[in-house]
Amino acid sequence: MRGIYLVGGYPDRETFNECVHSVIESGFDFLEIGIPFNDPIADGPVIARAIHEALENGAAPDQVMDDILLLKNTEIKKYVMTYANVVYSYGIKKFSGKMADYLDGVIIPDLPNRMSRLFYDNGFDIPVVPFATLETRLSDIDMINRSKSEIIYFVGVRGITGASGNLESSELLEKIRMLKDNTDKKVIIGFGIKTRDDAVRALRIGDGFVVGTEAVKRQKKPDELKSYLNSLM
């Protein structure tokens, strides 16, 4: 599974939607759309700056969600990445009611896996994607397997988005092997994917990847983004 992350509403609504269609036309399997939040603690400087600019230009949750609704008839899988406070503030049931029929999952980096139950218990019908990291232990697998999501978001580096990592490190390979041996969910490698070589390695050792920072760098220039997307395939 090959995926791209874009910041919703960045740099403006029209350009964002043009970028979305570039991802679809390039043949990627899934699209991860970030709903901007004013305290993006898990994001590096590139994505954080894009998020703040999108907010300044009016990228409210409803606007970004409405743009996602327009993708209903596209085959690409759709995920939202945002922070827990965005969902809480919008309303857990309200968010789910609006988006459940349109999303394959939500990715919430500041929501521990064990806390996703609070969402489900309050009427949230969208799969919450579990995280795994280099610190994930075998004892954590049961919690991961309880998720309704078909994927695991594997953070292959320590740090914020945009950080570099070694996709051939023995530590990383052993952790992915542990996940694949103990769950039937697809292991998607996020963070640290920049080039086609990175993408090929990620597909070899896991079940997929998502490119974020390098895509967001090019969101202001859709033609440049499209060329970059083609270089990854």
Q: Pick the catalytic residue: 32, 53, 140, 198? A: 32
Separation of alpha carbons 20 and 113, rounded Å: 29
- The answer to whether residue 75 is catalytic is no
**Known active-site residue 32:** yes
In angstroms, the CA 81 to CA 106 distance is: 6
* Whole-angstrom distance, CA of residue 130 vs CA of residue 117: 11
Strand (E) positions, 97-184?
Answer: 105-107, 131-132, 151-155
Catalytic residue among 12, 39, 43, 67: 43
DSSP annotation of 66: H
Pairwise CA distance, residues 30 & 15, whole Å: 19
Which strands sit side by side in the sheet containing 208-211, from one edge to the other?
105-107, 77-81, 30-34, 2-7, 208-211, 186-190, 151-155, 131-132
Catalytic annotation, residues: 32, 43
